[in-house]
């Protein structure tokens, strides 16, 4: 059984078909067992996110809800919220 994992990070502000198409391609090409989506709280290349982090997380969860190989990890968001 294949046990390759990958992490796909970004602001996902908002998550869109470009993100999902890349993820699907990676899963098929590399035959991944699981891909971990890692949203960041605030990208360093932007002054401000367009969408609130809670709404971005909800959008990500909705977008990946029917994909068993997709998991979301909130470690970066939790780390930032804890330090505020």
How far apart CA 81 and CA 76 sit, in angstroms, is: 9
pLDDT tens-digit profile of 20-40?
999 999 999 988 889 999 999
Q: Can you tell me the mean pLDDT for 65-82? A: 88
N residues, the chain: 84
SS3 state at 23: helix
Token duo for residue 6 = 């990958």
Mutual orientation of helices 75-83 and 53-64 as an angle, nearest 10°? 170
Number of C-beta neighbours around residue 43 at 10 A: 15
Q: Can you tell me the mean pLDDT for 2-21? A: 90
């Amino acid at each position: 059984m294949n046990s390759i994992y990958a992490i796909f990070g970004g602001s996902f502000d908002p998550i869109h078909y470009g993100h999902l198409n890349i993820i699907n391609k990676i899963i098929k090409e590399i035959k991944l067992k699981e891909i971990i989506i890692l949203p960041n709280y605030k990208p360093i290349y932007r002054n401000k996110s367009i969408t609130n982090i809670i709404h971005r997380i909800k959008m990500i969860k909705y977008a990946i809800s029917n994909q068993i190989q997709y998991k979301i990890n909130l470690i970066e968001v939790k780390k930032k919220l804890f330090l505020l």
